Amino acid sequence: MADPAPQLHPDPATLPPVAIGDIHGRLDLLDAALAAFPDRHIVLLGDYVDRGPDSAQVIARVRELVESRRATALRGNHDQMLIDATLHGQGAALWEMNGGDTTTDSYYGDYAALLADAQWMDEHLLPHTTIGNTLYAHAMRPDPTGRDLDAHTWGRPDGETPFYPLPPGVTHSVHGHTVMRYGPVAHQLTDRTVAWFIDTGAVFFGTLTALDTATWTPTTIQLPAPHPATPTTQVAP
């Protein structure tokens, strides 16, 4: 009998990335997700700051991941609010209303460090990215015409923001931003593309989702939530 063919195991580093949803200052959940996929490239979908206890420490971890090329980091609406408030003097009240005070507190009075991180975020966080056949954007698919500037940062799958068409050859998109209380959701659209939403409320429910886009398998990481807040009481999840 001939020897069986050897089993080929793909190099994890060459597989499509693992996407991680909104973190909101939960360093414990981020580190647990990273430990679950130690050899994979990561796409972070944004909203690293606000409401959770460790925003400064999360940004430090994101910087390490990006600078070591282990991760690609996108820009969420909370990240944009931080940038606008600290670097451009715009929307400070809106940012504070949506958890900016907890981010400021996490720097323990070191405003220079906050400004330095805001500058780094403004220079390095991507609005969206496409890897292989998948587009990643914080909120919704970007408008390919460029007219809707807010779709990929602020849009929601509630009918007000369209599911804009994907580029040729791109079949999936992955998003955070809109909290999915009962777990990640995959929308099969009429053009036969799929849109995933994987923000499962890290700061509200203690649940962070990592989506393996090689197998389209979500992994749920759950730790106790730091406080009993619910997203229905907030302005901009």
Catalytic residue positions? Answer: 78
Q: Rounded to an integer, what distance in angstroms lies between the CA atom of residue 168 and that of residue 175?
A: 19
Query: Which tokens is 142 given?
Result: 């970007």
Q: Three-state SS for 207?
A: strand
Q: Rounded to an integer, what distance in angstroms lies between the CA atom of residue 48 and that of residue 59?
A: 7
Q: Rounded to an integer, what distance in angstroms lies between the CA atom of residue 42 and that of residue 181?
A: 23
Contact 36/210 with Cβ under 8 angstroms? yes
Give the H or E element holding residue 137: strand 134-137
Q: In degrees, to the nearest 5, what angle opens at C-alpha 155 toward C-alphas 157 and 132? A: 80
Q: Rounded to an integer, what distance in angstroms lies between the CA atom of residue 139 and that of residue 35?
A: 25
